[in-house]
Amino acid sequence: MSKLDISIVIPLLNEEESLVELVPWIDSILIENKLNGEIVLVDDGSTDHSWDVIASLKTKCQIKAIRFKRNYGKSAALNTGFQNTSGKVVITMDADLQDSPDEIPELYRMINEDGYDIVSGWKKKRFDPLTKTLPTKIFNGVNRWMSGIALHDMNCGLKAYDSRVTKNIEVYGEMHRYIPVIAKSKGYSKIGEKVVAHQARKYGNTKFGMERFINGFLDLLTITFVSRFSKKPMHFFGALGTLMFFIGFLVTAWLMISKIYSLYQGNPNRLITEEPGFYFSLFIMTIGTQLFLTGFLAELISRNAPDRNQYDIEETLNI
């Protein structure tokens, strides 16, 4: 069976009103641009009539639909959707009508013709309140600095992927915000950006609160560490532990030299164990030793991991 041109993956939670407009809109865009495609809907445990709406739309549009027994989160919905796509290009978008299906043809072209691995949408002009846009700008700035990926809106739900990317990454936890970072760690580094329209929410309420910024930062630390040091944890823990031990050793050496010099000069001086710096150096050296040992243990675990020698191969010749 030949691949479709495009798959549109849409995770959703309680979007019965939006789906009635969104799915036919996407279908009309595909027909208008002569794209042979499918719409993959993943119902993430909706408690409204979203699934009934999907069932009714399936008779009119080319839809694949998956329904979770309960709410597992956007990452789980996207990962499941990726596993069930058949298109050469995969586009993700939110179900709340804030992402415009009119962007689909150009996103498809950038992957199919320009050769990008990923194209991320950038909602340059937003219709959100300042309490949401300001933290988002700060959050994206930190993301760019830590990940080295120059995207203005990494968390934008409207993205396009070469199907090789979606079939070779795993999205779990709340890592959907960092799919470009995950993809880059797998070698898919041709990442582009496109300014896209942002539409004000028409139905319902936002599903996200301020806690996503805290959780998002912790997730960024996790994915950055895992992508860089999962196969060489000693490079992180060993280096940090050695540095801390060395700092503690220098402080201790300075205290000892100062004590000897004071005795040589005949000046009264406190015992080294009465100096606050002694306990600081002891604490730092202990932490450094623990980090170093953590690196050794992590290396032992890494060496025994079943995927320790599994690598992503692009292509082979005469194998």
Confidence band, pLDDT 50/70/90 cuts, at residue 205: low
Q: What distances in angstroms separate CA 41 from CA 50, 51, 189, 199, 270, one per listed residue?
A: 10, 10, 28, 21, 73
Write down the pLDDT at residue 101.
95
Map out the domains of the chain as residue ranges: 4-229, 233-303
Are 236 and 229 in contact by the 8 Å Cβ rule? The answer is yes
Residue 151 pLDDT more than 80?
Answer: yes
Average confidence (pLDDT) over 301-306? 71
Average confidence (pLDDT) over 94-117? 94
Residue 22 or 214, more confident: 22
Least confident residue range of 37-51, 107-121, 249-263, 293-307: 293-307
Residue 202 or 54, more confident: 54
Confidence band, pLDDT 50/70/90 cuts, at residue 204: low
Confidence band, pLDDT 50/70/90 cuts, at residue 306: low
Q: Residue 237 carries which side chain, given as an amino acid letter?
A: F
Model confidence over 213-228: pLDDT tens digits? 666 667 667 767 766 7
Percent of the chain having pLDDT more than 70? 84
Residue 40 or 131, more confident: 40
Considering the domain delimited by 4-229, tell me its CATH architecture.
Alpha-Beta Complex (3.90)
Percent of the chain having pLDDT more than 90? 46
Model confidence over 159-192: pLDDT tens digits? 999 999 999 998 887 788 889 988 988 889 899 9
* Assigned token pair, 50: 């979203």
**DSSP notation for the chain:** -PPEEEEEEEEESS-HHHHHHHHHHHHHHHHHTT--EEEEEEE-S-SSSHHHHHHHHTTTS-EEEEE-SS---HHHHHHHHHHT--EEEEEE--SSS-B-GGGHHHHHHHHHTT--SEEEEE--S--S-HHHHHHHHHHHHHHHHHH----S-TT-S-EEEEHHHHHS----TTGGGGHHHHHHHTT---EEEEE--B----SS--S--THHHHHHHHHHHHHHHHHHHTT-HHHHHHHHHHHHHHHHHHHHHHHHHHHHHHHHHT-----GGGSHHHHHHHHHHHHHHHHHHHHHHHHHHHHT-TTTT-------S--
* Assigned token pair, 132: 């949401």
Instruction: Using alpha carbons only, give the angle 269, 275, 279 rounded to the nearest 5 degrees.
Output: 155
pTM given for the model: 0.73
* Assigned token pair, 226: 């895992």
Q: What does pLDDT average to over the chain? A: 85
Write down the pLDDT at residue 285.
92
Are 256 and 211 in contact by the 8 Å Cβ rule? The answer is no
Confidence band, pLDDT 50/70/90 cuts, at residue 1: very low
Residue 209 pLDDT more than 60?
Answer: no
295 CB neighbour count, 10 Å cutoff: 22
